[in-house]
Every structure is written in C-alpha cells, then in structure tokens.
Structure 1
C-alpha cells in the first residue's frame, strides 16, 4: 500500500497483455452519491497510472476536445463505464458507476463485475446525502462479503472536516463495530484561502508516520516534525488496535497489550488480509492533480491499496453456476484453463461498430471468433413475459479494451478480466456465455423493479415501423427497463426507475435508434360493474329490401361478488330463441362487456340471464342476435347505476424509522389504508398499505423526495374496488 517503504511507479495504460494471470488483475467498482467525484477520481487515478496525460491527452497523444469531454462525462454520469489502468505489474479495471438513484441497475451491474468496491463520499455534501444514497449499496456489498474501502473527496471545500467524516462513516457503515472503518491516512491541509477553505496538500501515513507531500507538484516523502507527530498518536493507536482485532494471529493482541511494538510490515500484511476478507474498511482522502501536477493527491496511495489490499479474482467468491435446466454444479475456481463461463454485464450501441457488450469472464478464456452458447434468464424468472428465457449459438466478434473513446484490440480475455465484445447480437445484459459443448448458466444478479410508468406512442408512420425493434433493443440493453403492452388500456408503457431514467431512455430512442415518440398520460385499467339488478331488451330489426335482420332478446342482469367475471345463463323456455342463436346472444353480450357500457372500461362481476326473445324464420341470423345481445346489455346499463372499479395495490414501503410518520400520513392522503408495520433490520420499518393505483403513479419520485432518497417500495396488484362516487362522476363526465 501507499504506506510501504518503497515507491510505486505507474505504467502506461492501454490493452492488457494476452495471457495475463488472474492474480495480476483487480476489478474495482467506484460507488457513491451523485456529485461525490467518482469520475474525477477515476481520471486522476488514470493520470497517475500514466494512462491519461495532462490537459485531456490520453497516453498515445490523442487530444479530447471540450465538446467530446463534456459528452463523455454526461454519458458516464448515467452509465457504467470501464477504465483499465496498469499499476505495479497489475491490471486494475476501474468500473465507474452512476451516482443517481435512478441508475442503481447500472451500479449493481458494476458490482457484479467487480471483486471489491471503493465507496466515494464527498466532504462538501451533507452527511444525510451520504447516508441516503450509499448505505443500501453498502449493505448489499456486506451481504455478499465484498471488500470495501472509502475515499473522502472535496476536502478543499468541505462542509464536514475529515475527522468528522470518518466518524460518520464509522457510524453509518461500521454497524456494530465502528472500529472496522478507520482512516489509514490523515490529510495535510495547506493555508486557508480567502474563502476560508484550506486545500489538501498531502497525506500522513498512520502506520509508518511518513508524510506524503504533493504541494510541490510531485509526490515527496519525509518524516513528520515534532509538532506534526503528536496529533497522530491517538489515530495511529486506534488504527493499530483495529488491525490487530482483525488479525488471524491470535497472539498479536496479547503482545501488543503487553507493550511489544508490532513492526510495520506485520501490520501492513494483516491490514491487507483484513481488507481482502471484507472485515476491515480503510478510509482515505484524495483530490485531483493541481494545475501542472502529474499526480492527484492520494492517488498513489489508492492504487497501492487496490493492488495490495483488494482481492484477486481468484480470492473473491464467484456467482453460482448451474446447467440450463437448473442442476447445480461445483463452484467456479476462476481457472483460465477451465470451462468458459462469462457474463454480459452491460450492453450498449455504438454508431460505428453496432452492439457492444461489456463482458466479465469468470472462468476459462474468451478469444475472438470463438463460437459460444448464449443463455439468458431475463430477470431470473423463466415465465417473465417481458424477458423470457432465450438461448442461441453465436460467434464472438473482436475483443477490445476501452481507452477513453477508443477501443484497443485484445488477443484474449482470461478469467477475472473484462473486455468489450463486438457483434453479440443475440446477447442481452445479464446473459451467460459458455462453451458450446457444455452450456452453463450463472445465477442472475438482482435487478431493481421499475415502478415509474410512461406511456409512449410513435410520432409518425416512419417511427411506428422502427419502434418495436428499437424498444426491444432498449430493454435488452437495460434490465431496469420494463416494457408493457397493456391489454386493457392498449397503451405501450415504459416502466423505469425514475424521471432521469425515463429521460435517458427517450434520449436513446431518439439519438441512437432514430425513433421519435410522443409521451401520453399513463392510464390505469379501470373496470365497470352493476350496482344493482336491471333488465334490458335488445331489438335489432331491419327491413330494407332483400334479406332482412331480425333478433329480439330480453335479459336480466345482477351483480356478482368481486372476481366473478361475466357469467351468462340461458333460461329461455319454449324455443323463443332458437338454440343456435343463444350462443350468438352470449357472444354479443360478452363483446359489449369487454367494450364497457358507461366509460369504456371492461364490465365485470355480473350475471346475465337470457329469459326471452323472438326470432324470424328467414331474417334471423348470428350477427343479428349478437347485435341484439349487445343492445340489451346497454339498455340494462342505462336503467341501472353503473359503478366504476379501480385497481388497488398492496404496497410495502421500507423507510428509516424517522420517516415512518410522514410516510403513513402521506399514504393516508393517497386514500391508502395502512395494514401494518414491522421492523426490518437496524433502524428501518416496513409499512404495508393498500393504495389505489391512481394515487401512486409517481410514487417512485415522490417517496424519494419525502424521505430524502432513503425510502424504497414495492407494489403488487391486489384487487379492484369501487371508486369513490365523486371521483367516478368525474371519469364519467369526461367520457360524456
């Protein structure tokens, strides 16, 4: 790590050498709230490693224009991106994840491809913002034992000092053991500027008590002065105790408490092992390089932490693997010579090369022109209508490593590494690639349920021709988007995670696929039913020369319990309606019920009794009695009171305890009925309620605002219930 006695030297970035062993690979996802500085930090790490030169120049001298840089940053702010760099003989794959809550699906994809996570928190933002957007992801990483470290940015404009930030991180992320989250370095601040903020000029290593000074533009190392040494003692002692508490050497604590001075090399070794196991989480500070400087502050220390403390792909547990029929198989061992098992963690479209798939290889070696078996389990459910299981054989295109906006060719991608693969036309995000002789399937990662709907329609005829194909590609690229063709309303609905997610989806349709769509208000599927019994008479008699039309039928209608549908009963006596035409009456009644009788919504939960009618020996026909049946049902509806039914959802809202009261009050304001609450983990409560779907169309956005981003919810259809009369009257009035 950066505290080691010898210096590290970065190597120029670019494509990794073919045949690199997994032990020389590190896959790290950078996770943090929006505005925390993840992308800036990635660029600083790339610059320090020699992959990115000064003034926006990449290693081969290509200059990135201001417009290209702005566009590239905007894309990276909402999408997962890979930046590979070389450091001290290791290939470090930096996975820059979005910070917006709407793109948590991209974050989870990045965590799937990574073996460790670097949480980036900004000292310039309120601590509440840190907790709101990162704690849930921290808990997800903890659940799978993923190693984590933290880096604090923006100390030069800090609202919260570094010592306070480390204390907050310990409270938020340490759980029952705050001493598992401790600083590895302390920041060195320069003189205060006119705005009252002091710039970060260097770091002090707590283990070796060496100062790493960046104030001269290059990293320099020197011992602290007597005045600088005293403030380090308490933080150093706490760090040493935290490391020893996680040591596998059970005698170390007794030796330390007995007054023995533990040598620095032993402490660093134990620290690296604890970090790799995911039981200790060091906190560092970092800042981008000053004007003219070659290295960002803290970037050498971070790269040393990544290569020395984070696990190799061989050490991190790999996803479970099965055969396509679900039979379990032994765990993967990450052997480059083993069977090929890889996964598409991201899919994008490039205007020049077409579909481009970011692939993590978990076992074996992937090479250009290989023929692979593609198996997709959609969202983990073989019966999911939007993402059914699919499989195919396909030939792998060129393998490349991203370098800025370029793609550098690769000869192979070994187990543990990541690469971009061209022309995987049949593969979607989340699909498994394996050898054709032994098809395999990786267990899926969890995908957030999109809960914000937007109805769309093609803008013109040309757009209509391309819309279906473009939407299919959009959904294949982003598993967090769900496409629904609502059979009740006829609307084409995109379900996304939030407004920003919707905007990006629409932008991609327009800019990448050349499809213009219009957005229309999302309609909720209402129903109609009879409030009481009624009778109706349908008379369809026409005589206009030639063959006429003659059909008369009389019906009784009565309401049924919810969920009964439409029941048809024949009680005709004496052959008043000939037997062949009774089915015609039923067909007409059911067709009219499907169209609705008051506001254009399907009519349900009624029994229709055909009790009488008349027929003509020549002019009666199937079509005539269908029309008569529909007319009879409409007349009965005009006589009775038709009640509108609205769908009700079972909603579960998970929020911190502090927000339970506001959430319950808000649900009541949405005509919801709270059915119960229960504790769900430390400091969180699950609120269950039945809420009309008309009231929660935008709840994904409004709950986030109400709980400052800390709340999440799920919903499922429960039943249809009568709509309040005043609301029903408005719907009927608009129909009229």
Structure 2
C-alpha cells in the first residue's frame, strides 16, 4: 500500500448494536474500492473483518479489526468494532484511535441500545459522526422511522442526506436531499439520474426543511436568512456541512444496502468530504522530561511519537502492537523510547494490517494507523516517542470487569500451559483479569459477561489446545462468635520417653473488629504457663482461625485471652501448648454461639429512568437493600444498594435482560454481616466434608 500524508488520511470507527451490519458494510466498501473481487458474508465466515475462528463459528465480531480502504487519493482506516456489550473494551480501544465515527443502524431493527451507547461514546471522545442506515433492501426497513427516532433523541442536529426510492418493494435508488435530485442504480451498479417519483417529493420537502433548519442553526446569519425565507445555495449548504459535521453540531443520516453494495460510493465520498483528517484534530501529551504539555496535533514536522491502542497476540501470526502516530513520521528500524517501561524498542518493520493480513510499508505519517511486530515490553495504552523528547499520552479508560467464574484445568498437568496462554490473552484483552484467590482455594477469571468468559475458554481450547472448566465461584464467608466463653483444655500424651503436656485456660469473646481475624492477650500470673510458651499458644490460635470449626471458613473478630494453665518441666513443649490452644479454640468457639458471616457488596446500578422500578424490585428479591437513587447524565439513574455477594452471581445477565442491555453495574466490598439461618445452614451442610478432613488432620 502507498504511504499517505496526514491530510489524505481518515480514521473512522464503525459503531452500533450487535447485528446491525457493520462487518457487511466493510465488505461492501472494500469491494467497491477494488480490494476484493467478491463480497464475503458473515454467515459464510469469509469476511475480511471477522477472521478469528471464534468469530467465524459464532457469526459475530469479537475483536476490533483494522481495514484500510484506499478511496481515490485518500486512505480510509476503518476500525470495525464488536457490537455486543461483552466486548466493549475492544470498542473503547478503537474509539481512542479514531477521528470520526459512523454509527450503523439497521433499517429493519431501528434505533437500539447499542445505537445509544455508540452515541454516548462519540460524545465522550468528541467525535464527529454520521449515521448509516443499512438493510434498505429489506421490504419492512424504515428510513423515516430511524430519522424520526434519532431526532427525538438528539434533536435538530440530525440531518437526513438521503431518501430511499422503492419500486414494487425493491430498493432501486435515492433522493439526494442537498441536490434535490433523484438517482437510481442501473444493472452495472452505476448511479444515473432519473425523474423523481411524486411520492418522494413530499418526503423530500420534509427532509429538506429538517436539513435547512440544521444548517440555519449553525450561524446567526443563516438563521436570519432562514426565517426570512431565503434559499441557501448548494455550495453554502455543503460549506456549512463541512464545518458543522466536523465539530459534531450536525450529524448526517445516510442509507444503503450492504448486500447489494448500494450507498457505499456516496458514503465513502462523504467520509472524505466531511470528516476531518487527523491534522484537523487536537492531540496532546506530556513531555515527561520538561513536564510541559506536548502539542502533538498529528503534526508530521514535530518529534515522532505514537500511542499503542491495541495489541494482537496470536500463536499463528505473532504479536502486533497497533499504533496511531501522534506526531512525526515513524520509519523502519526507528528506535522508539517507552517512557512507562524505561526501555527502547526497535521498530523493525512497519506494517499496515487488513484483517489478519499484513503488508509492509516504509513509513507511517502523523495521524496514520499501523502495526509494529514483536515489541518486547510495550503493552496496550503505552506511549512511544524518542529518548530525547519522551512523551506520555493519557491512557484510554477501559471498562473494568465485574463478572467472574472459577476455573480449573480439565487435564492434570496443564496448569502451566493454561497460565501462559491466559497471559497472552491478557495482553490482548484489557477487560479480562486472572485472579488467584488463595483464601478460597480458587482461581477466578473476570470478564464483561458470561459469554465473554465462555469465549475465553473456547479460545484456550481451539487456539492454545488447553481445556478449562468454568464453574460458579465460591463466596468468601467468614465465621465469628457472639458471646464470651471460658475454656480449659489439657493436652497430655505419653508414648514412652518424653511425653507431651500442655494445659491452657482461656476465654474467647467477640473483639468488635471484624476486619481482624483475632486479638491475642495473656494475663497469666505466678508463672502457671511460662512466658516462652506464649508464642506457641498464639500460634495455635493463628492456625485455628484459618479454618473455623463451624464450616471451615476463616474466622474473624475473636479475642483470645490466656489467663491460666499448667506445665510439666520435662514433657511440656511448644507443640503441646500449640495443640492445647487449638483444641481449646475449637471447643470454645462452638460453645460461643458461632455464626456465619457473608460478604456484602456496595452495588451501583446505572440504568435509564424508566427501568428503575424493575431494578429495585429485582434487588429486593436478591436480598438487596436499596440505599438511594440519584440522577446522572442522559436521563439515567444511579441506584446504590447493599447486596450479598452470593446474590451477584448471574446478575449481569439479569440486568441486561431487564434493560435491553442499557444497564451497567459496578460493586466493591463493603463489610461482613451475619448470614440468614437458611443460607448458613446450607453452607454448613455443603462444607461438612471439609470439617471431617480438618478433624482427621
């Protein structure tokens, strides 16, 4: 592929609900641009974007794909993102590298939750955007309904550019609202002018008024002329569009058919015409040497710097770090300094990626997107620059995972292979976490949803040839006591030669501090127990609280006081007193009204206002206590509640079901509370075998 200068580059991210047609839109664009000789289909598993085995099998995008499309003298870097919410991290990475967005909407399904989330992402990153309505070849697709719904949501900035024309239920052409001309596709797929149907003229008038009103909103002069009934020229309209699409104050709505490759020519032409090149965008970092702002602004004449927005690690194609050049020109074999790792990386060869295919290029200009292979220490969200002018850019905020499942190796001996494979997946996926919960004897995978974790397991099997089984995670219960008890235990053992003798008198009571397992004190007088055995007694308590006698859960909030006992000058030993203390603890704990404590989470649920009643009702069923509700931006409400960790299992799926995917949640540990009797009984029964093991040991 040719080398493109900054002004000839457009970085465009495709956003939208799952299944709206993003991947098939890329196919149509690539076909029209001459990159392919035939269009692939998602159903056939032969698209440029969805090349991963899991994507081919499941028929939807899991990873962001980079597809550079040459259009006339410009390169359009298309970032095709997943639409399903489990893969939001991929979308967030892609948006951080984009200069504009196309929000794809199915003309059949209309505006969906993913459409609104796409809009919110564009608002967050201040991205200019267009809306492209797909599936206009389907008989019940409604462009008008999509435009109406968008205008209800986002107001007068929604500006329809086109109107579909149908004959006998077939999508045959469109009306260009700016030009007020009708066009149709001929048998060769070329566009030709024809007489506008009468039924289109009324709709044109409506859309034209909406468009002109949007144009009028852009300046006081235009507003005055609009109210005076003055007509805008086509050049004035297009000039207003260039300015206002670029700053996001106007959002064109276009349409077409992906399967018939209709509407893509106009779309790509308008991408070049209305979307900004990178040099029209701002980009700032910090010069970490001088601690001053570095105004990169995609200026090719400045010191070279880049941002790593995504990493691909594949056992077949290797490791690639996808970069966006923020300033300067990066060339083959450049030395690039990673300030975060204090390490110089050799760029080696520079690549352009098209799906899973790579093509070598000699250099990348500021604003361009490409890939560097086999960087040693650099990871996603790192910055690269020169040692003489070290620059750090703000790291992309990636969603934090809250859904977790326990996993085990299916085959013994695979643990190391699984660990290595998961480490590679963690480099690729920042919304994946691997946590070793030694306290509960489990290893946890955290992700954005159950489907996300299932795909991780499937990837491990198919790509890395190791199998794991996913299971419900164990919840970290605790044990404590509720009253004070006085206990005496004498450990005496004789087996020839020196025997074992340890005798303790102790009290156990609640310490009042559930954050600390135990507090140990002694008030022995008269040397009944020599001081050199005090540490042994405490060690016995320390080991006892690791697994309590009620259900083999860790004990917390206990105050143990050694106040008396006796010893034998020959047979007493540290081991004997440790054992005596452990037995005294076991006996005393069970006599002190022991209870199970369950962990309570402080939960935050953010949902559209119309779902709040359903959410609070569901939380009540899950033993949650709603603590409050405050409005947030975009008509959402944040509900705060205390809820047992045990009830969080499966909550992600339920929340998405109740809110059509629009709700999100987060939580953190709050405290421990006494578990209800039925929960405690169930846990004690389930853990009975562990108590037997303890007694045997």
User: 2:692 maps to what in 1?
Assistant: none
User: 1:401 maps to what in 2?
Assistant: 352
Distance between the aligned counterparts of 2:582 and 2:290, measured in 1?
Answer: 50
User: Shift of the alpha carbon at 1:30?
Assistant: 0.3
User: Shift of the alpha carbon at 1:482?
Assistant: 1.7
Correspondence 1:41 to 2:25:
yes
User: Shift of the alpha carbon at 1:216?
Assistant: 2.3
Change (3 A) 1:94 1:579: same
Distance between the aligned counterparts of 1:169 and 1:637, measured in 2?
Answer: 64
Contact 2:135–2:141 under 8 Å retained in 1:
no
Q: Which runs of 5+ in 2 are unaligned?
A: 689-697
User: 1:360 maps to what in 2?
Assistant: 324
User: 1:702 maps to what in 2?
Assistant: 654
Task: Between 644-653 and 543-552, report the one with greater CA deviation.
Answer: 543-552
Q: Which of the numbers 399, 416, 434 marks the counterpart of 1:465?
A: 416
Change (3 A) 1:158 1:478: farther
Q: What SS does the corresponding residue of 2:404 show, helix, strand or coil?
A: strand
Distance between the aligned counterparts of 2:86 and 2:39, measured in 1?
Answer: 32
Correspondence 1:336 to 2:300:
yes
Q: What SS does the corresponding residue of 2:507 show, helix, strand or coil?
A: strand
User: Shift of the alpha carbon at 1:36?
Assistant: 0.2
Task: Between 357-366 and 627-636, report the one with greater CA deviation.
Answer: 357-366
Contact 2:49–2:80 under 8 Å retained in 1:
no
User: Shift of the alpha carbon at 1:55?
Assistant: 5.3
Q: Which of the numbers 111, 122, 125 marks the counterpart of 1:144?
A: 125
Q: What SS does the corresponding residue of 2:541 show, helix, strand or coil?
A: helix
Contact 2:405–2:446 under 8 Å retained in 1:
yes
User: Shift of the alpha carbon at 1:657?
Assistant: 1.4
Contact 1:358–1:421 under 8 Å retained in 2:
yes
Correspondence 1:242 to 2:249:
no
User: 2:475 maps to what in 1?
Assistant: 524
User: Shift of the alpha carbon at 1:487?
Assistant: 3.6
Q: Which of the numbers 540, 555, 559 marks the counterpart of 1:588?
A: 540
Q: Where in structure 2 are the equivalents of 1:112-127 lying within 5 Å?
A: 112-125=96-109, 127=110
User: Shift of the alpha carbon at 1:401?
Assistant: 1.3
User: 1:429 maps to what in 2?
Assistant: 380
Q: Which of the numbers 308, 317, 320 marks the counterpart of 2:282?
A: 317
User: 1:253 maps to what in 2?
Assistant: 223
User: Shift of the alpha carbon at 1:311?
Assistant: 1.0
User: Shift of the alpha carbon at 1:392?
Assistant: 3.2
User: Shift of the alpha carbon at 1:455?
Assistant: 0.9
Q: Which runs of 5+ in 1 are unaligned?
A: 1-14, 58-62, 193-198, 291-295, 377-389
Distance between the aligned counterparts of 2:49 and 2:292, measured in 1?
Answer: 51
Distance between the aligned counterparts of 1:54 and 1:137, measured in 2?
Answer: 30
Correspondence 1:345 to 2:309:
yes
Change (3 A) 1:37 1:70: farther
User: Shift of the alpha carbon at 1:618?
Assistant: 2.3
User: 1:569 maps to what in 2?
Assistant: 521
Distance between the aligned counterparts of 1:538 and 1:514, measured in 2?
Answer: 55
* 1:139-198 CA distance string (max 9 Å, x none): 2321332101101111233645211110101222x1xxx110121111112312xxxxxx
User: 1:81 maps to what in 2?
Assistant: 65
Correspondence 1:645 to 2:622:
no
Distance between the aligned counterparts of 2:515 and 2:211, measured in 1?
Answer: 67
User: 2:138 maps to what in 1?
Assistant: 157
Q: What SS does the corresponding residue of 2:189 show, helix, strand or coil?
A: coil
* 1:390-415 CA distance string (max 9 Å, x none): 55332224221123432111111221
Q: What SS does the corresponding residue of 1:77 show, helix, strand or coil?
A: coil
Change (3 A) 1:611 1:364: same
Q: What SS does the corresponding residue of 1:637 show, helix, strand or coil?
A: helix
Distance between the aligned counterparts of 2:148 and 2:365, measured in 1?
Answer: 40
User: Shift of the alpha carbon at 1:67?
Assistant: 12
Task: Between 320-329 and 426-435, report the one with greater CA deviation.
Answer: 320-329
User: 2:115 maps to what in 1?
Assistant: 134
Contact 1:286–1:297 under 8 Å retained in 2:
yes
Q: What SS does the corresponding residue of 1:671 show, helix, strand or coil?
A: coil
User: Shift of the alpha carbon at 1:683?
Assistant: 2.5
Change (3 A) 1:533 1:283: same
Distance between the aligned counterparts of 2:568 and 2:54, measured in 1?
Answer: 75
Change (3 A) 1:564 1:185: closer
Distance between the aligned counterparts of 2:560 and 2:399, measured in 1?
Answer: 44
State the TM-score, normalized to the length of structure 2: 0.93
Distance between the aligned counterparts of 1:106 and 1:71, measured in 2?
Answer: 15
Distance between the aligned counterparts of 2:293 and 2:171, measured in 1?
Answer: 51
Q: What do you get for the CA RMSD once the two structures are aligned?
A: 2.4
Distance between the aligned counterparts of 1:300 and 1:520, measured in 2?
Answer: 49
User: Shift of the alpha carbon at 1:121?
Assistant: 0.7
* 1:660-696 CA distance string (max 9 Å, x none): 1111010000111111111112432111110011101
Distance between the aligned counterparts of 2:596 and 2:50, measured in 1?
Answer: 54
User: 1:282 maps to what in 2?
Assistant: 252
Contact 2:107–2:143 under 8 Å retained in 1:
yes
User: Shift of the alpha carbon at 1:563?
Assistant: 2.9
Q: What SS does the corresponding residue of 2:549 show, helix, strand or coil?
A: coil
Q: Which runs of 4+ in 1 moved over 6 A?
A: 63-72
* 1:68-119 CA distance string (max 9 Å, x none): 7987655871110011011121110000000111111111111011001100
Q: Which of the numbers 500, 508, 525 marks the counterpart of 1:557?
A: 508
User: Shift of the alpha carbon at 1:323?
Assistant: 4.9
Correspondence 1:484 to 2:484:
no
Distance between the aligned counterparts of 2:54 and 2:442, measured in 1?
Answer: 33
Task: Between 396-405 and 489-498, report the one with greater CA deviation.
Answer: 396-405
Q: Which of the numbers 159, 168, 176 marks the counterpart of 1:191?
A: 168
User: Shift of the alpha carbon at 1:449?
Assistant: 1.6
Q: What SS does the corresponding residue of 1:143 show, helix, strand or coil?
A: helix
Q: What SS does the corresponding residue of 1:462 show, helix, strand or coil?
A: coil
Distance between the aligned counterparts of 1:94 and 1:201, measured in 2?
Answer: 27
Correspondence 1:628 to 2:580:
yes
Correspondence 1:442 to 2:423:
no
User: 2:16 maps to what in 1?
Assistant: 32
Distance between the aligned counterparts of 1:65 and 1:557, measured in 2?
Answer: 68
* 1:207-244 CA distance string (max 9 Å, x none): 11222312423222315347354542232132122113
Q: Which of the numbers 267, 274, 278 marks the counterpart of 1:302?
A: 267
Distance between the aligned counterparts of 1:554 and 1:322, measured in 2?
Answer: 65
Task: Between 33-42 and 390-399, report the one with greater CA deviation.
Answer: 390-399
Correspondence 1:374 to 2:355:
no
Contact 2:27–2:48 under 8 Å retained in 1:
no
Change (3 A) 1:478 1:440: same
Distance between the aligned counterparts of 1:346 and 1:148, measured in 2?
Answer: 22
Distance between the aligned counterparts of 1:426 and 1:108, measured in 2?
Answer: 22
Q: Where in structure 2 are the equivalents of 1:716-731 lying within 5 Å?
A: 716-731=668-683
Change (3 A) 1:71 1:539: closer
Contact 1:456–1:491 under 8 Å retained in 2:
yes
Change (3 A) 1:364 1:303: same
User: 1:381 maps to what in 2?
Assistant: none
Q: Which of the numbers 60, 71, 91 marks the counterpart of 1:107?
A: 91
User: Shift of the alpha carbon at 1:710?
Assistant: 1.4
User: 2:403 maps to what in 1?
Assistant: 452
Correspondence 1:676 to 2:628:
yes
Q: What SS does the corresponding residue of 2:15 show, helix, strand or coil?
A: strand
User: Shift of the alpha carbon at 1:279?
Assistant: 0.8
Distance between the aligned counterparts of 2:458 and 2:23, measured in 1?
Answer: 22
Distance between the aligned counterparts of 1:328 and 1:719, measured in 2?
Answer: 43
Distance between the aligned counterparts of 1:216 and 1:610, measured in 2?
Answer: 96
User: Shift of the alpha carbon at 1:562?
Assistant: 4.2
Correspondence 1:711 to 2:663:
yes
Correspondence 1:181 to 2:162:
no
User: 1:509 maps to what in 2?
Assistant: 460
Q: What SS does the corresponding residue of 1:586 show, helix, strand or coil?
A: helix
Q: What SS does the corresponding residue of 2:559 show, helix, strand or coil?
A: strand
User: Shift of the alpha carbon at 1:426?
Assistant: 2.0
Q: What SS does the corresponding residue of 1:488 show, helix, strand or coil?
A: helix
